[in-house]
Structure 1
Amino acid sequence: MSIFGYDPAKYHTGRAPIEAAALGLKLRPDQVAYRCNLSTIGDDGTMIDFAGGHPSTERAAGAIEAMHVAFADEGIEFHRGVQYRHIMVAPADWAEAECAPPHDLTGKPAVWPTGPAAPKLQRVMDASREILADFDIDANTVWLWGQGFQPQMPSFESQYGLKAGLVTAVDLVRGLGVLTDIEVVELESATGWYDTDYEGKRDCAIDGLDDGLDLFIVHVEATDEAGHAGNVEEKVRALENWDSRILAGLVESLDASGPWRMLLLPDHATPLALRTHTPDAVPYLLFDSTADGPGGEYTEAGVADLPIVPGHELMGRLVAG
């Protein structure tokens, strides 16, 4: 949200309602959305895998449909997302709970919901164990978190005067596009995993700009997933893929089209040693093909002594020209 140029302090109401928008869900004021992970918890209560073995979307679909059927009479809806990432919609009074993000618990004891709505959530999570046991997936529970009511956001074009597009495999990012009227390009081969289609994403950007869009956002999830997995080889490979499979062809196309600008950055840190998100500031690279910049080192250490820029201000700097 911040990278798109919107202040989270003003617009962020929770992760799940943004992802719900990506699925085409328009929540009523009396409804709250929860992110619903398919996760794996050990017999000793340890969070083994917040992503439940990364089931294919097709395999996950049956489990989510079974959850939907099991709770439909209670006004609870389950909606299929991608791989392990799904959505539960519940009455508004289910919102009052403190829920731990499952990726913060990898290898640690599960921290169950607390607060007024916690017993309702716990009942659903407990019931999911029996339901998921009937399906050929590694996940053995649903994990509910990231709840909120759907935000109202102004369009990107009304904010910045530009027509924008984006490509992503992640519903959170897709949902931001839906809520801000950014053109979301569907790429079937974008997986949200190490095997995503880097060239396909690059070509979506090139085609979108050639077709008249003023700005295009390319999102790749592989580095984040590698960070959560503690997999240094895949994280390095994903970063190298940006150079060899996206930028290598994209820069030449941009050069051929005239002056251009680019903002390159991660949307958060996911250190390999911690295997979860941290609130640390991240480096960014802002490039203008028509002007020499001050240079510098594009690493966390290289920018550690520089002033921190609020993330939602960067889009304004990019489009200012």
Structure 2
Amino acid sequence: MKYIVILGDGMADYPIPELDNKTPLQYAKKPNIDMLAKKGTVGLVKTIPDGIAPGSDAANLSVMGYNPKVYYTGRSPLEAVSMGIELSPTDIALRCNLVYLSEAEEEYSDKTMIDYSSDEISTAEAKILIEAVNNALKSESITFYPGISYRHCMVWSNGKTDLGCTPPHDILEKKIAQYLPKEESGLLLDMMIKSYNILKDHPVNLARKERGLRPANSIWLWGEGKKPALASFPEKYNKTGAMISAVDLLKGIGLCAGLESIDVEGATGNVHTNFIGKANAAIEAIDSGKDFVYVHVEAPDESGHRYEIDNKVKSIELIDSQVVGPILEAMKKYDEYKIMVLPDHPTPLSLRTHTAEPIPFIIYDSTNEIDSAASSYDEFEAKKSNIFIDEGYKLMDLFIKGFLD
């Protein structure tokens, strides 16, 4: 049996007037996914346990079969692992976004979060800016590491957790004062303020402004945690596997779980990503002998954060036509395979951030096609099924083993 998970990050949503009061999943044309829904098990699953913030970190741990209440230590350590950063047991890793804050205000705390990605700054430009920040702010206990686009990492040796940090995508168009780090020493806030003075007139940012792009004029620190110790996925499920994603978070989860992380050229994490390349990579992994592949597509989530209604619908349609479609065609050569399609959490366009509501899932088994009574795949058809998994980390047991432990 071959197993493929196709996860559209943040696909679930609320009905919105601009889409005839439908959700993006209801509105999008997705014949391949709808076919799977009609012939597979459709239901709802709660991927975010009570008391845990609705992030892609905890949600994807759940989908992968790991209880976030046991294994979740913070987002950034997972990203650090993907970046090849060695973390000691006492190191604290933090996500370091390059953000664009409003410029008119003199006081840093009076500024507004305009863009958490600085117009999705290029990796080459971002590397120069992070190196400038590291050269100015590095110490015996603090080091900054460049990553991809706006996503970077800071490691704090013998640092602290519970720092009162807030994800920047949660506070778009809001004054930042009440969302600044609350840690006692004031170290994080001091570095963020200093970073503004380092970056605001940096040649890279001046050149971006000349091209009509938003500058990356500050770092934003969040997602702190220590390196997690995940149980081996291959040992847990007796399946070899691979993770395919454009974002360090998912690559890190895969690596920590003992999966191969497969890079795809042109995979960007947005609606312009190489959808077909991800599908081909999944097919090649299965054909090369892998039992399990996890295909993560970030585009719906990014569109939700940015309030890009058309792009969220488009990303769902592209997942259907350029990921699900080719994979289904390729799997015809195998007698036995299962496909699971789902988001990790909702990212409602109206809120521009994640929420913790249960999300719809499909499990299709080529050896056991059923009449699910679902006419399509969306939030409301899933709710009609009366199938509900309250503990999301058990969904992987249902997918691979066919039953819940």
* Superposition TM-score, scaled by structure 1 size: 0.96
Whole-Å Cα distance in 1 between the matches of residues 320 and 163 of structure 2?
42
Is structure 2 residue 393 aligned with structure 1 residue 312? Answer: yes
Structure 1 segment 58-97 matched on structure 2, within 5 A: 58-97=124-163
Residues 32-80 of structure 1: CA deviation (Å, up to 9, x unaligned): 0001011111135111111121101111000111112112234211111
Q: Which residue in 2 is equivalent to 1:129?
A: 196
Alpha carbons 1:29, 1:149 under 8 Å: kept: yes
Structure 1 segment 253-272 matched on structure 2, within 5 A: 253-272=330-349
- 1:214 Cα deviation (Å)? 0.1
Q: Which residue in 2 is equivalent to 1:115?
A: 183
Matched residue type, 1:49? D
Matched residue type, 2:397? G
Is structure 2 residue 94 aligned with structure 1 residue 34? Answer: yes
Whole-Å Cα distance in 2 between the matches of residues 308 and 116 of structure 1?
42
Is structure 2 residue 23 aligned with structure 1 residue 23? Answer: no
Alpha carbons 2:341, 2:361 under 8 Å: kept: yes
What is the SS of the residue equivalent to 1:268?
coil
- 1:292 Cα deviation (Å)? 2.4
Whole-Å Cα distance in 2 between the matches of residues 280 and 82 of structure 1?
29
Q: Which residue in 1 is equivalent to 2:37?
A: none
Matched residue type, 1:20? A
- 1:240 Cα deviation (Å)? 0.3
Specify which of 223, 229, 240 is matched with residue 300 of structure 2.
223
Matched residue type, 2:231? P
Q: Which residue in 2 is equivalent to 1:102?
A: 168
Matched residue type, 1:132? L
Matched residue type, 1:128? S
Equivalent pairs counted in the alignment come to: 320
Q: Which residue in 2 is equivalent to 1:147?
A: 224
Compared with structure 1, are the counterparts of its residues 131 and 74 closer, same or farther at alpha carbon in structure 2 (3 Å cutoff)?
Answer: farther
Alpha carbons 1:96, 1:116 under 8 Å: kept: no
Alpha carbons 2:241, 2:293 under 8 Å: kept: yes
What is the SS of the residue equivalent to 2:388?
coil
- 1:294 Cα deviation (Å)? 4.4
Matched residue type, 2:381? G
* Superposition TM-score, scaled by structure 2 size: 0.77
- 1:186 Cα deviation (Å)? 1.3
Q: Which residue in 2 is equivalent to 1:48?
A: 114
Is structure 2 residue 278 aligned with structure 1 residue 201? Answer: yes
Whole-Å Cα distance in 1 between the matches of residues 159 and 153 of structure 2?
17
Whole-Å Cα distance in 1 between the matches of residues 302 and 162 of structure 2?
29
Query: Which structure 2 residue ranges, 5 or more long, are not aligned?
Result: 1-60, 105-109, 209-214
Whole-Å Cα distance in 2 between the matches of residues 21 and 93 of structure 1?
18
Query: What do you get for the CA RMSD once the two structures are aligned?
Result: 1.4
Identical positions, percent: 37
Q: Which residue in 1 is equivalent to 2:62?
A: 2
Q: Which residue in 1 is equivalent to 2:326?
A: 249
- 1:307 Cα deviation (Å)? 4.8
